[in-house]
Structures are given as structure tokens and as C-alpha cells.
Amino acid sequence: MLRAALVALLEFEDDLDVVADVERGDEIVSTALRTAPDVAIIDIDLPGLDGLSAAADLHTKLPSCRALILTSFGRPGTLRRALEAHVSGFILKDAPPATLVAAVRDVNAGRRVIDPQLAMATWESPENPLSRRETEILRMAARGADPADIAAHLYLSLGTVRNYLTSIVMKLNARNRVDAIRIASEAGWIP
């Protein structure tokens, strides 16, 4: 319903045309390669592939298309991850419709658009203290994988995964793995 409302809002503008809309993250790049949009408006929380991974793939495979993240995940860590994925814009779903339309135009013109309150919060917040590997392991744990599953998937020994999980808990000053997942999720360091 929200996607249909967004399409209707954008189609109402004389200078904007919606060339496609998809409901899954794993459909974004293939659809963009077929339709060649100037701007892709992407939510983070999508089935199949999260929006930030899709935006990073889009940047690699179709660099002429700029990504604008439209999401309810307004956390500093999420914005940092979006910028690492080379997005051109990041605004929250509760922004007024005129702000969204202006953001699409600005991103299309090559300007970067970031929600100002979130930008300030990101500037003032600590960076993710976890390494990429630790973040990957914690993300897998958050999705329900146990240490043996993580080890098998990442081709690591079970002891190495347990050492990583211990290090993660210590770095985040967490009580345990569940608390570490909560801390990292609230900070936006893991989706």
C-alpha cells in the first residue's frame, strides 16, 4: 500500500516518471538494469535482499543510477552503512511528501540529501567499534544462527567464532550475546 501511494505521489509530478516498482530487494538491480532509472528509491527492510545491500550492488552494476533510501530506520549506524553503500540520499518515511519529491529532484541533480536531524545524530554518535568480520558474525547471530552454523558458513573454526563472539560482547560492554545484538541493533550497526 505504501509503495502504491509513493508511486502515485511521484506520478502526480509533471517532471517525474516512475519506470518500475518492485517489492523485493533481490529484484532491484535486475529491474534497474532493464529500465535504467535515474534515481532508485529504496527501503532498507525488504524481503530477499536488504535495501542497503541492493543499493551497494546497484552502485556497482549501474553507477549512473543514484539511490535514495526512504526508511523508518533513522539510526546513525544505519546512515553510516548507507553512505558506505554509496547512496545519494537518506530520508525518513515520516518526512512530508514535498520533502520526498524535492529529495528525488536533488538526488537526480547530483546533490546528496540527508535528513538533517539524523545527520547531526550521526555526527555526534560513536562509530561501530566492531570489525567487518565481527559485524558479519553478529548479524548472523541476530538472525538465529548458532556458532556452529556461523563457523560452517564462514569457513571458520568453531573456536574462532566463539572468540569473535566473546570479543563482540566485550567491545560493546554487553552482558551476553543477546545484549550485544540489542546494542548493535539499536545503534544501527546491524540490520
Report residue 36: phi and psi, to 5°. Answer: 50, 60
Assigned C-alpha cell, 96: 512530508
In the three-class reduction of DSSP (H, G, I as helix; E, B as strand; rest coil), residue 7 is classed as: helix
Using an 8 Å Cβ cutoff, are 187 and 75 in contact? yes
Query: How does residue 124 score in pLDDT terms, banded at 50, 70 and 90?
Result: low
The CATH class of the 2-124 domain is alpha beta
In tens, the pLDDT along 62-114 reads 999 999 998 887 777 778 788 888 999 999 888 888 999 999 999 999 999 98
Query: How does residue 5 score in pLDDT terms, banded at 50, 70 and 90?
Result: confident
The pLDDT value given to residue 1: 60
DSSP strand E in the chain: where? 39-42, 66-71, 89-92, 113-114
Please report where in the chains the cell 529491474 appears, as a residue.
Answer: 31
Mean pLDDT score across all residues of the chain: 89
Is the CATH number 1.10.10.10 carried by domain 132-187? yes
125: pLDDT strictly greater than 90: no
Q: Where are the domains of the chain?
A: 2-124, 132-187
CA angle 36, 52, 81 (to 5 degrees): 130
The pLDDT value given to residue 133: 94
Query: How does residue 167 score in pLDDT terms, banded at 50, 70 and 90?
Result: very high
The pLDDT value given to residue 126: 67
The rounded percent of the chain whose pLDDT value lies above 70 is: 95
> Which residues contact residue 90 at a Cβ distance below 8 angstroms, ignoring those fewer than 6 apart?
68, 69, 71, 79, 82, 83, 113, 114, 115, 118
117: pLDDT strictly greater than 90: no
The pLDDT value given to residue 78: 79
Query: How does residue 30 score in pLDDT terms, banded at 50, 70 and 90?
Result: very high
